[in-house]
Amino acid sequence: MSIQEASGFADLGMWQEAWNAVEDAPAEDRGKVEALRVRLRCCAPLGAWDIGVELARFLRDGNEEDRKAAALFWIALAKHDRFAAKDCLHAAIQTWPACRLAIIDDAELVLLLFPEPR
């Protein structure tokens, strides 16, 4: 398997297949940034939150594509873990500032940031 094949599986929403394809890739390819991005894309759908946090922390200082992948993971984690939502959204914005508009346009995320008074 190649990282391109793994990315193709992820593009199709075939998360476990994408994860397995990265696992089956040659050892020298599994540690490449491209492979880490594919793994990170799979983390939220597979519920691999702890691994995703580590990968997002690693990729947050990378290129634009790395930072975008990390920010999208932080946003998914915010939706999953409402208690950590504000910290996750802050991490997303710090990692990839362009995601601010996506956050503002998502009513669910706005409610996580500004809950309605009870």
Under DSSP, the state recorded for 84 is G
Domain ranges, ordered by start, for the chain: 1-47, 64-118
The whole-angstrom separation of Cα 25 and Cα 80 is 30
Whether residue 118 is predicted with pLDDT greater than 90 in this model: the reply is: no
Which residue's structure tokens are 């939220």? 44
pLDDT digits (tens, 9 = 90+) for 58-71: 999 999 999 999 99
**Cα distance between residue 13 and residue 23, in whole Å:** 17
Count CB neighbours of 61 within 10 A: 10
pTM above 0.85, yes or no: yes
